[in-house]
Amino acid sequence: MSTTDLQAYRGSLLHFLADPAFSDNAHAWHEDGLLIVADGKVQAAGDYAILHATLPPGTTVHDYSGKLLMPGFIDTHIHYPQTDMIASPSEGLLPWLETYTFPVERGFEDPVHAAGVAEFFLDELLRCGTTTAMVYCTVHPQSVDAFFTASDARGLRMVAGKVLMDRNCPEFLRDTAQGGARDTEALINRWHNRGRSQYAITPRFAPTSTNEQLHLAGELARAYPDTYIQTHVSENEAECAWVRELFPQSRSYIDVYDSYGMLRPRAMYGHCIWLDETDRRRMAETGAAAAICPTSNLFLGSGLFDFERADQAGMLVSLATDVGGGTSFSMLQTMNEAYKVARLKGSHLPALRMFYLATLGAARAMQLEGTIGNFAPGAEADFIVVDPQGTPLLQRRSGNAASLEELLFALALLGDDRAIAATYSAGRRVHVRT
């Protein structure tokens, strides 16, 4: 292999091999490490002293000594059309949707507007070190085209889908069961597995879809089993009560989706706060995953996710920002709030676990282990460069950290995105902090 085919990066390497909650050997740490990339994929990751000797003569080594190299963050639940309404006040989820969300999403019938928001949105993700996200578009197919056009041009691995919504919403955002299914299938055929783009069948949430629409969404999920499903479940108590009124035949909110065949691997459910033990066991046995959205849940007063009971049930869990109910694009800020949520529920999230949930844990929840999420040979080389001394406060705090756990904890709890010095996608630098 010629030297032009290789890229090499020196720095402290951190990535995960397993869930720290269940394994004593969950992470790999190389204080002086080397990451070798070929054709956009990881070729090797390990100690610099060992791997440097394997490089062909003349290979340029990009030196990030003193900084951390780790896999890019993965955000498993976020709404790109809500970028411009982030931090909009409300008394709760349902009035927030009616007052802010639905009017803002109306603008995405204009593809030029949608394209402009998509570009800004992706810039913000990359600035914060997020290289993959599961993204909600609007009811308009052109909003999906605008998003994937922008992400595909940047070579990003992104999952997205058109919202399905045929009732309990303004007329200007309402599709039909048949029309939404036709649009979804056309978008699957246009975008799924094109480059690094993947499609998600996206009912907004059960109350805004008729039984017919949910039935057709389930049929699409069976017809295209390698697509994703994304929606919301059990976010707040008022919403759960509404679901009980609309679907009296179902045992629980998650059971609504289960009855239409939408609990399966590659199904991502946002929030999952008000589940019971039967719900959690059912998610675990079907391979459906939870996207935990602490900044959104705290902002809207929705409730506190129970990490301990989710772990006891064996649920797949990941972290997500849920912009614009969420208050930051930053996965560091998301870890900050997740830690506090766990403490308020009486449990503790070590820093290593939080970083796992934002990288390999999210990849596992998305059924993408081996593709993204760590530095395994053959994985796509999506990674970030983290500068623990990126600001005077970070510098002082990192200088006092006695261990890797303490260093990561400081990065997460300070939540300062100025620590993200650079972001790489498939071995190509897509953001650098100036």
C-alpha 52 chain-centroid distance: 33
Cis ω on the peptide bond leading into residue 324 (within 30° of 0)? yes
Instruction: Tell me if 73 sits within 8 A of 44, measured CB to CB.
Output: no
pTM attached to this predicted model: 0.97
In the prediction, which pLDDT does 1 show?
39
The closest alpha carbon to 272, from 289, 285, 287, belongs to: 289
Q: φ, ψ for residue 36 (rounded to 5)?
A: -110, 125
In the prediction, which pLDDT does 2 show?
44
d(CA 259, CA 217): 12
Average pLDDT per block of 10 residues along the chain, 434 residues long:
74 98 96 97 98 95 97 98 89 85 94 98 98 98 98 98 97 97 98 98 98 98 98 96 97 98 98 98 98 96 97 98 95 98 96 98 98 98 96 90 94 94 97 94
Q: φ, ψ for residue 238 (rounded to 5)?
A: -65, -40
The closest alpha carbon to 74, from 14, 156, 130, belongs to: 130
Both tokens assigned to 85: 């309404």
The helix (H) or strand (E) run that includes residue 397 is: helix 392-399
d(CA 64, CA 55): 17
Is residue 392 left, alpha or beta, with left meaning phi > 0 and alpha meaning psi from -120 to 50?
Answer: alpha
**Residue 201 identity (one-letter amino acid):** I
The closest alpha carbon to 137, from 124, 156, 150, belongs to: 150
DSSP string, 267-323: EEEEE--S--HHHHHHHHHHT-EEEE-HHHHHHTT-----HHHHHHHT-EEEE---T
